Structure 1
Amino acid sequence: MKLILAEKPSVAKNIADALGIKGKRDGYYEGNDYIITWAFGHLLQLYDAKDYDSKMARWKMEHFPFIPTKFEYKIKSNPKNRQWADQGAKKQLAIIHQLMKRTDVVEIISACDFDREGQLIGDSIIYRARLNKPVSRLLLNEWTKDEVLSGLESLQPNDELRPLQDAGVSRQWADWLIGINLTSVATLKYQKGRGKALNIGRVLLPTLKIIYDRDKEIENFVPEDYFKLVATFKTNNNEMYEGTYVEESGEKFKQKEALEIVNQQIQQKEAVITHKKVEKKKEFPPFLFNLSNLQGYITSKYKGWTSDKVLKVAQSLYEKKFITYPRTSSTALEESLVGKTARVLKTLAEELPYKDEIKFMKTKRVFNNAKVESHSAIIPTYMKPKRLTADEQIIYTAIKNRFIMQFMPIAVYEETRLITKIKDVELNGIFESKGKVQLEEGWKKVENINSKDKLLPFVEKGEWVEVAESDLTTHVTKPPKPHTEKTLLRVMETCGKGYDEDDEEIVGSILTGFSIGTPATRAETIKKLKDVGYISTQGKNLISTDLGRKLVETLPVKSLFDLEFTGRLEKTLSDIQKGIVPKKAFLETIYKFTTESVEIIKADQEVTIHEVKSNAAKPSHDILGICPNCGGNIIEGRKGFGCSNWKKGCKFVIWKNDKYLQALRKKPTKTMVKNILKNKKAYVKGLTSKKGKKFNAYLSYEKNPDEDYYAWKMEFEK
């Protein structure tokens, strides 16, 4: 009998289905040859500081730095009361260990996700039992039946993945050391009053600094006027086309006077077309999605989506066997997947109206081992979903379309460039015209991408035209745009470098781990920045808060904000995973950094950047949904369920003492608010009429089209 440990119940069921095992028991499935059990993600966590030493229960500056001589693990805490172990985790861990100790179990197979967190989850559970039984590793990129059966035929000894475990442990211990020590001393130093701590993190602070720097760029931006001159030319056939005046410095001029002289000189003049160049150009489809690109695409295209939500929905599709592993940094597929990919394409193309244009080909843009690190790009599996939620449909369609585009014809457009010179006038520049015509739609047909054609009349080099009119316009330089989740993810992924999908150096940096965080953690980092109050949202824009700004400007450990420093740490973790760098060397660097950073903060000047008022109500950080007014987060406050952007003027709120609901003898609940935000209405039971009769109805909270306020509407079941 072999025991398989999956990371989640849903994955365990996929494995059981693949093996045809129906017998479900309390905490596991059992068949003739296999027992399949599961964790709930991490069942174990590192000790808290007070678990090592009771004096650490109270934060005092002299207790830090605190570095355990040996790191210990315990059953994860109950999220509602950290003093107690989570009973569900405790029970499941006991079941797993009982199964492992069964005399008929001769081998243990870890089937947790193939990444450093998955390795850590599986190893922490398996080796805690201290059994002398062989441990193997099931390494899969998808949970379809064919993959599971194939994977069980090609298991690897778990010992061979020790570097992956070392990377997971190193990341976990480093984040614990930096988080516990620097959060504690920074809170003691810079916060007045007892309350939520100032959260200091290895990935959190450089991400905050990216947003802070952009905010400062916008604040310090000084707009400047510039001027452009556009002439309209008339051909012999009375057709018109526009040309922009261009000199060596470009088409934008800081001095208006120079353009005014040119404008006077060209009035009613004849001109000649001195140059005509027509080029056919190819447009390749965008590369396959990795997680960051998928998150950026969805959050910029659909209102109310966050990168955290994209990951959760993609994870759901992965566990339902519809897509491959989503937490990947690669935008290409392993070359060994050619046959499997052809099968997936054939399955997905069957019902498409343009299926005759889809042709499978092995190209370097799609299949390239040099552009794959651990996991290939995200693509659909051969299993076609019959029923998806609205959110799952959005993510699945995006991944499916991006996949199909790779095997459609290349889009082709024709670009025409004309240069027109004015006759009998000495000018320093010329008039330039550009036109574009889409010749072959190709892959753009998949998502009905409409190209903006700019047509020019059919003219030839040497042809005479005349100036029909001209327009000298004034423009103002614009400041940089605030970061969105899409642009922030791009900076985190490339560690602040510019990004070009075809840039081998940048792609190489991403794949070798030189980045801020990992594909799996970036969404969580952005969410945490919002939750701890360091950034806020304005529509899709991310803005640093007063607290976030003060933290950046005050905390003296500047390397924590440095993208290069954090990128090097992440790169070292990636090298540990590959067996290039030993775990010990990395941890010694972290010990030294932590100790020095604590002393730097202790020696810093006394300053308060955050004051917690004792009578302040504790804010709830549960996000109930997306604000229909501005796209912000709806959270629960003391008096109502309102928008987190209320300081910036958003007035959306559902009051807890709402008079309309009071008349119906009801109070709004979290569940009611969530349903209204998600489904536009909520089914509410137990409403009371004026005559005292109970009834049920649908309630919606809608904006008056003519006035700036929201009001309740009631509908009854049909």
Structure 2
Amino acid sequence: MNRLIIAEKPSVAKNIADALKIKGRSDGYFEGNGYIITWAFGHLLQLFDAKDYDEKMAKWNMENFPFIPGDFRYKVKSDPRSKGKEDFGARKQLKIIYSLMKRNDVNMIISACDFDREGQIIGDTIIYNLNTQKQVYRLLLNEWTPDEVLRGLQQIKPNTEMKPLQDAGMGRQWADWVIGINLTSVATLKYQKGKGKALNIGRVLLPTLKIIYDRDKAIENFKPEEYFKLSATFKTEDGKEYEGTYFEKEEDKFKNKETLEAIEKALLNQTAAIKDKQVERKREFPPYLFNLSNLQGFITSKYKGWTSDKVLKVAQSLYEKKYITYPRTASVVLEESLVGKAAKVLDNLKKGLPYENEINFSKSKRIFDNSKVESHSAIIPTYLIPKSLTKDEEIVYTAIKNRYIMQFMPVAEHEETKIMSQINNSDIKGIFISKGRVQLVEGWKKVEKIESKDTILPLVSVNDAVSIVDHKLTSHVTKPQKHHTEKTLLRVMETCGKGHEDEESEEMMEAILSGYSIGTPATRAETIKKLKDVGYIDTQNKNLICTDLGKRLVETFPVKDLFDLEFTGRLEKTLSDIEKQKFTKENFLNLIFDFTAKSVNKIKNEKDIIINEVTAEKKSIEILGKCPKCGHGIIEGQKGFGCSNWKSGCKFVIWKNDKFLATMKKKPTKTMVKTLLKNGVAPVKGLTSKKGNKFDANLRYEKNLENEYYSWKMEFPK
């Protein structure tokens, strides 16, 4: 008999097949050694559209809302390029999966989708849509290395044990469908004039928009205030100079300039003495291991052109290639059961490093702590060392690897010196404070060559006399908070604004562990991307700014709960509680349905205001060049650059998702097609080889001798 394993993606199915040493491959699955391994492409099924339940919902009419189905049903997912049509690939793969599930020699089905809410429902919707009577099990893994796959297959769980995770996943999916379908439709009907993109309303979308709006408003309304500081330069008896800043009652910023001017006058012809000297040795621990939000924040703030969405995609690719553990995690520590595995990983990573002898494995509570792990441990490398990575993968992998190695390096140590200089004049109440710092032990900072700037103060003792060489009164202005970046926004979303200033605070850790957040690690990047796509926010350099449409939506849309961080945080926490069996899916959905019905009625009763006017523009069709086949004009279509004579049978086309160019990470552009049609050849820069290296080439698109189709030819410039 065979066990049927259903993976979330083809690459994961291949990892499982490799671990089981299965070579036999058929259309849509691997088979051998008592196993059949097939795959989905993420979600193969999606929830019914409103019109699938009731044909009157095909047109948006205010009186048809609120619309809440009696039961939720699934269908084959739609083709993203052809709205309303089934995705052909999804339909074909589903048929393969169902034929394998029905095979008489299959006695067990194992869902090997990702170990999270989405992974659970991807597998469950496929499996239970068939009403199978066969036993269903769950393979729960944090990485896809051969060792872990084999170990995991020995420890599979009955899928019935995963019911709380399934309830949370479906609760989230159904709730977002109900809120999205109802409020997007009603808001668009109420506040938008003209046909075009809908006004998107979502449970996670709106509070995220409000965070950016609030910061923009705070900056806009900020009134700068002037303040003053006084500094003095002192000289020791052996001629060494140092600078100090004037403090009174632990404050060095003064709103009243006259106060400091009086002190400055009192400094004339005065001497001073060292009132106190404090020397403290301080230890600096490395930053915690990465969770997804911290990894996204680190990469997007360090490298230009990166978004949190891109970081997640690259991390996902590294995970599927078996080089890192599961990336969609909220934890910054590891489970204690991973001690042995973590030691093996460290041994592999440290070989040949210039500071190898300083790397020592330890079972520290700062790294291994079950009480601070939520579902998945922090992101770390696996024991497999990559042989070749793309440049993007190299950036993300190196960050994860370095952060891991840092944990086992010596703690960095520095010495802080504080000198308090007092003026020998009783009219001057305050003191001048000088701060120095010297790095004593570089420790973990060696890993990323973190430079520490030393400020060296002269060697002095208490009661030493010093002279005043110079003094300076300076004017300053208070500055507003900075605009949100993806890094700061992710921090607020992760904790609903609790403890987000310090990523290592206990308060922040507790907020993350409680599940009290906006969205999940898996969805936050997608939310930021969607806000940009629907035109609610814009980017200026790394800053995220609310657009005029975004501002009008926040100021006009009457369902204020949807902008409220507390409200959204409670909903996300409730989903987390469903996973922990502290709350039921049914009660959660009843709350959502009730909230949606009330919100729809509230919008209906509001004043009619237009916050978005969509004007249809007629596009003039641009002829890019002559068709090499029939001489008619080549024009740009949705899916490719094709002949305008297609109705008469001319089939010349250059597809936008051309597979040959895709292997080199390129898509045909309008400029490229124009050049190709004019000169017969197009120089293309920045093609990517299989090893991830960039190169340039001249491309031709020529008709095959043996058939009617065209193929690419590549030439290299001399």
5 Å-filtered alignment, 1:96-245, equals 96-245=97-246
Contact 1:268 1:466 in 2 (8 A): no
What is the rounded CA distance, in whole Å, between the counterparts of 1:364 and 1:348 in structure 2?
Answer: 21
Amino acid at match of 1:57: A
5 Å-filtered alignment, 1:299-698, equals 299-499=300-500, 500-615=502-617, 665=679, 683-686=697-700
What is the rounded CA distance, in whole Å, between the counterparts of 2:74 and 2:203 in structure 1?
Answer: 21
User: What is the Cα deviation at residue 22 of structure 1?
Assistant: 0.5
Contact 2:20 2:33 in 1 (8 A): no
Question: Runs of 5+ in structure 2 lacking a partner?
Answer: 621-637, 639-667, 703-711
- Residues 236, 696 of structure 1: alpha-carbon distance in 2 compared, 3 angstrom cutoff: farther
More displaced, 493-502 or 393-402?
493-502
Q: 3-state SS of the aligned residue for 1:259?
A: helix
Contact 2:247 2:433 in 1 (8 A): yes
What is the rounded CA distance, in whole Å, between the counterparts of 1:543 and 1:363 in structure 2?
Answer: 42
5 Å-filtered alignment, 1:18-97, equals 18-97=19-98
**Which residue in 1 is equivalent to 2:657?**
none
Contact 2:8 2:119 in 1 (8 A): yes
Contact 2:697 2:717 in 1 (8 A): no
- Residues 687, 79 of structure 1: alpha-carbon distance in 2 compared, 3 angstrom cutoff: closer
What is the rounded CA distance, in whole Å, between the counterparts of 1:172 and 1:257 in structure 2?
Answer: 63
More displaced, 504-513 or 473-482?
504-513
Amino acid at match of 2:227: Y
- Residues 595, 101 of structure 1: alpha-carbon distance in 2 compared, 3 angstrom cutoff: same
Offset from partner CA, 1:557-581 (integer Å, 9 cap, x none): 0000000000000000000011110
- Residues 604, 418 of structure 1: alpha-carbon distance in 2 compared, 3 angstrom cutoff: same
What is the rounded CA distance, in whole Å, between the counterparts of 1:536 and 1:666 in structure 2?
Answer: 39
User: What is the Cα deviation at residue 257 of structure 1?
Assistant: 1.2
Q: 3-state SS of the aligned residue for 1:488?
A: helix
Amino acid at match of 2:342: T
What is the rounded CA distance, in whole Å, between the counterparts of 2:427 and 2:542 in structure 1?
Answer: 49
Amino acid at match of 1:343: K
User: What is the Cα deviation at residue 687 of structure 1?
Assistant: 10
What is the rounded CA distance, in whole Å, between the counterparts of 2:701 and 2:271 in structure 1?
Answer: 80
What is the rounded CA distance, in whole Å, between the counterparts of 1:178 and 1:405 in structure 2?
Answer: 44
Offset from partner CA, 1:39-67 (integer Å, 9 cap, x none): 00000000000000111110010010000
What is the rounded CA distance, in whole Å, between the counterparts of 1:666 and 1:247 in structure 2?
Answer: 78
Q: 3-state SS of the aligned residue for 2:436?
A: strand
User: What is the Cα deviation at residue 402 of structure 1?
Assistant: 0.2
What is the rounded CA distance, in whole Å, between the counterparts of 2:84 and 2:685 in structure 1?
Answer: 31
What is the rounded CA distance, in whole Å, between the counterparts of 2:680 and 2:264 in structure 1?
Answer: 71
Contact 1:665 1:687 in 2 (8 A): no
**Which residue in 2 is equivalent to 1:717?**
717
User: What is the Cα deviation at residue 682 of structure 1?
Assistant: 5.3
Q: 3-state SS of the aligned residue for 1:129?
A: coil
Question: Runs of 5+ in structure 1 lacking a partner?
Answer: 619-635, 637-653, 689-694, 699-715
Identity of counterpart residues, as a percentage? 65
Contact 1:190 1:609 in 2 (8 A): yes
What is the rounded CA distance, in whole Å, between the counterparts of 1:218 and 1:176 in structure 2?
Answer: 35
Amino acid at match of 1:600: K
Contact 2:538 2:547 in 1 (8 A): yes
What is the rounded CA distance, in whole Å, between the counterparts of 1:108 and 1:563 in structure 2?
Answer: 41
What is the rounded CA distance, in whole Å, between the counterparts of 1:535 and 1:502 in structure 2?
Answer: 29
User: What is the Cα deviation at residue 506 of structure 1?
Assistant: 2.5
- Residues 281, 666 of structure 1: alpha-carbon distance in 2 compared, 3 angstrom cutoff: farther
User: What is the Cα deviation at residue 666 of structure 1?
Assistant: 8.1
What is the rounded CA distance, in whole Å, between the counterparts of 1:578 and 1:21 in structure 2?
Answer: 37
User: What is the Cα deviation at residue 520 of structure 1?
Assistant: 0.2
What is the rounded CA distance, in whole Å, between the counterparts of 1:40 and 1:687 in structure 2?
Answer: 31
5 Å-filtered alignment, 1:248-327, equals 248=249, 250-327=251-328
What is the rounded CA distance, in whole Å, between the counterparts of 1:420 and 1:513 in structure 2?
Answer: 50
**Which residue in 1 is equivalent to 2:633?**
none
Contact 2:288 2:504 in 1 (8 A): no
User: What is the Cα deviation at residue 452 of structure 1?
Assistant: 1.3
Q: 3-state SS of the aligned residue for 1:452?
A: coil
- Residues 33, 213 of structure 1: alpha-carbon distance in 2 compared, 3 angstrom cutoff: same
User: What is the Cα deviation at residue 512 of structure 1?
Assistant: 2.1
What is the rounded CA distance, in whole Å, between the counterparts of 2:698 and 2:555 in structure 1?
Answer: 49
What is the rounded CA distance, in whole Å, between the counterparts of 1:386 and 1:615 in structure 2?
Answer: 51
User: What is the Cα deviation at residue 429 of structure 1?
Assistant: 1.1
Offset from partner CA, 1:353-408 (integer Å, 9 cap, x none): 10000000001110000110110000000000010000000000000000000000
Offset from partner CA, 1:604-651 (integer Å, 9 cap, x none): 111000000022669xxxxxxxxxxxxxxxxx9xxxxxxxxxxxxxxx
Contact 1:266 1:425 in 2 (8 A): no
What is the rounded CA distance, in whole Å, between the counterparts of 1:374 and 1:305 in structure 2?
Answer: 27
Q: 3-state SS of the aligned residue for 1:238?
A: coil
- Residues 258, 344 of structure 1: alpha-carbon distance in 2 compared, 3 angstrom cutoff: same
Q: 3-state SS of the aligned residue for 1:195?
A: coil
What is the rounded CA distance, in whole Å, between the counterparts of 1:369 and 1:617 in structure 2?
Answer: 59
What is the rounded CA distance, in whole Å, between the counterparts of 1:405 and 1:392 in structure 2?
Answer: 20
Amino acid at match of 1:298: I
- Residues 288, 44 of structure 1: alpha-carbon distance in 2 compared, 3 angstrom cutoff: same
Offset from partner CA, 1:105-157 (integer Å, 9 cap, x none): 01001100000100000000111111111111100000001000000001111
Contact 1:230 1:245 in 2 (8 A): yes
**Which residue in 1 is equivalent to 2:247?**
246
Amino acid at match of 2:389: L
- Residues 239, 564 of structure 1: alpha-carbon distance in 2 compared, 3 angstrom cutoff: same
Amino acid at match of 1:683: A
Q: 3-state SS of the aligned residue for 1:400?
A: helix
Q: 3-state SS of the aligned residue for 2:482?
A: coil
Offset from partner CA, 1:149-171 (integer Å, 9 cap, x none): 00000111100000000000000
Contact 1:683 1:696 in 2 (8 A): no
What is the rounded CA distance, in whole Å, between the counterparts of 1:494 and 1:130 in structure 2?
Answer: 40
User: What is the Cα deviation at residue 683 of structure 1?
Assistant: 3.3
User: What is the Cα deviation at residue 80 of structure 1?
Assistant: 1.1
More displaced, 508-517 or 587-596?
508-517
- Residues 83, 282 of structure 1: alpha-carbon distance in 2 compared, 3 angstrom cutoff: same
Contact 1:191 1:198 in 2 (8 A): yes
Amino acid at match of 2:116: D
User: What is the Cα deviation at residue 549 of structure 1?
Assistant: 0.4
What is the rounded CA distance, in whole Å, between the counterparts of 1:561 and 1:178 in structure 2?
Answer: 13
Contact 1:697 1:717 in 2 (8 A): no
Contact 2:192 2:612 in 1 (8 A): yes
What is the rounded CA distance, in whole Å, between the counterparts of 1:30 and 1:659 in structure 2?
Answer: 43
**Which residue in 2 is equivalent to 1:629?**
none
Superposition CA RMSD, Å: 2.4
Number of matched pairs: 659
Amino acid at match of 2:542: K
Q: 3-state SS of the aligned residue for 1:409?
A: coil
Contact 2:290 2:400 in 1 (8 A): yes
User: What is the Cα deviation at residue 501 of structure 1?
Assistant: 3.9
What is the rounded CA distance, in whole Å, between the counterparts of 1:217 and 1:617 in structure 2?
Answer: 40
- Residues 24, 663 of structure 1: alpha-carbon distance in 2 compared, 3 angstrom cutoff: closer
- Residues 590, 687 of structure 1: alpha-carbon distance in 2 compared, 3 angstrom cutoff: closer
